[in-house]
Chains A and B, each alone.
Chain A
Amino acid sequence: DAGITQSPRYKITETGRQVTLMCHQTWSHSYMFWYRQDLGHGLRLIYYSAAADITDKGEVPDGYVVSRSKTENFPLTLESATRSQTSVYFCATLRGGPYEQYFGPGTRLTVT
């Protein structure tokens, strides 16, 4: 079925480890986003991408790296995980223009 998938859905890792969260879409939407869910802040934008090979920082990019070599994939890497990066991470897509944004199911990451 078409849509957005995120993997893994749950991840526990240790401080200092590198972790990559995957996001895959089947729609070929131009825009893709990574958000984290933070208490009191709702959803905060980490990075976004307007097209393959085009990425830009959001509100909270420090400690994260993204790439987008293919339109359908937008992986998020935590270079050296910290406890403050424990959160639920949501990937989303947007076709472009005044259309709806669609969210993936989320990845719950715990950094011990």
Chain B
Amino acid sequence: ILNVEQSPQSLHVQEGDSTNFTCSFPSSNFYALHWYRWETAKSPEALFVMTLNGDEKKKGRISATLNTKEGYSYLYIKGSQPEDSATYLCALNNDMRFGAGTRLTVKP
């Protein structure tokens, strides 16, 4: 069983603030890490799939980094907007079990 931990559990920021949160995972037998954005009453939507140590991926104001040796990935949102409010999930490709997520609320 591979445990994926996410922190913080929830986060409240003001519009325009930049923010980041963490996904921690066992570093042994790493293959790939997935990040998702999950809006209320919708299905999770894939953001990134990360495979290489030191990987950095970017999509608009959202970016992610990966450290497979120490077993963590950071998700960054620059200049948060109210429409960024969602739960952000990560999962290991090994068995596609998800962390509990970080619930982000961006206040106008």
List the interface of chain A (C-beta within 8 A of B): 31, 33, 35, 40-45, 48, 58-59, 90, 92, 94, 97-106
Contacts and interface: CB of A to CB of B under 8 A. Distances in A.
Q: Majority SS of interface residues in chain B?
A: loop
Contacts of B77: none
By DSSP majority rule, is chain A's interface helix, strand, loop, or mixed?
Answer: strand
Contacts, number: 52
B32 A101 contact: no
Given A42-B89, A98-B93, A103-B43, 10 more contacts: A33-B96, A35-B98, A40-B100, A42-B101, A44-B98, A45-B98, A48-B95, A59-B97, A90-B43, A98-B51
Interface string B32-66: 10101000000111100101000000000000000
Interface band, chain B: 20 to 34
